[in-house]
Structure 1
């Protein structure tokens, strides 16, 4: 791992994070799922909209979660294990991808709805 790029089981770091690689959509989906649930939970508990959450320390929480989930998602890839290899019904790799996509749409819809409404959703 002392070279200019990390390599494990035939995959380089950049292969894993390439546009069509196994990392980006899975990592972004996992972040979106955690972010959507967290945003709704904070709205219910504190009444803060998404903009207020980001202004009140949410950016730091996001950066920490992004780093942690990225590392946790990449470690199995470098060990030669991909999500489809570990999936079992009903928790399939395809279900995780779709849930991540819906969470991404949910975050965008939440932000747009709060902007149009002028405040928190709940």
Structure 2
């Protein structure tokens, strides 16, 4: 190491290198400004001995970072637990009542308008002439089809996407409930079919 250092100093201090350095656009830093290391310092650094005491010093291994030094990554938010209890699913603010009523109202509104257009009967006549059995059968099928996924823990929000979202279904059901009530009230006041 000392031999290499003195050789480099000799090369860079020669006049030919200095003249070449002046003709180019860059210059080498003067090696003379770097402090010279003694031969013992080089050996001490290579063997790991302290120059003054002569004791061997092993380089300290880098300590692994502690948990306080590692930045904490927040865990993903937990998925909300869906209750599958009968009382929770069918509670007033639960997921089933308004959704089932909205689905039944959508089917009822479309069916009432279709029968009224085809036969000219109002809602009350449709109900009195056999519409009750169709209403009960449709109610049972739609209620079971709506409750089975809810009791398995599947939410409507998890299956919605694009245009068919759970909010769109909820609003369509609300409008259908209002429409069915408005249709029945209009036909009652009018005394006959709406169309």
1:80 and 2:80 correspond = no
Paired residue for 1:28?
101
- Distance in 2, matches of 1:14 and 1:28, equals 17
Q: Could you list the runs of 4 or more consecutive aligned residues of structure 1 that deviate by over 6 angstroms after TM superposition?
A: none
TM-score of the superposed pair, with normalisation by structure 2: 0.57
Alignment correspondent of 2:46: none
CA distance in 2, matches of 1:57, 1:85: 38
Q: TM-score, normalised by structure 1?
A: 0.90
Work out the CA distance in 2 between the residues paired with 1:115 and 1:11: 41
Counterpart in the other structure of 2:132: 59
Give the aligned CA root-mean-square deviation in angstroms.
1.0
State the Cα distance separating 1:79 from its structure 2 match: 1.4
Shift in Å, 1:35: 0.2
Q: What are the residue-to-residue correspondences of 1:1-122 with 2, within 5 Å?
A: 10-122=83-195
Q: For residue 53 of structure 2, what is the aligned residue in structure 1?
A: none
Q: Is 2:104–2:142's contact at 8 Å kept on the other side of the alignment?
A: yes
Return the alpha-carbon distance in structure 2 between the equivalents of residues 10 and 82 of structure 1. 10
- Shift of residue 10, structure 1, vs aligned partner: 4.2
Which runs of no fewer than 5 residues in structure 1 stay unpaired? 1-8
Render the CA deviation track for 1:23-65: whole Å, top value 9, x for unaligned. Answer: 0000000000000000000000100000000001111111111
**Separation (CA, whole Å) in 1 of partners of 2:194 and 2:185:** 10
Deviates more, 1:11-20 or 1:33-42: 11-20
Give the aligned length.
Answer: 114
Distance 1:10 1:89 in 2: 26
* Structure 2 partner of 1:3: none
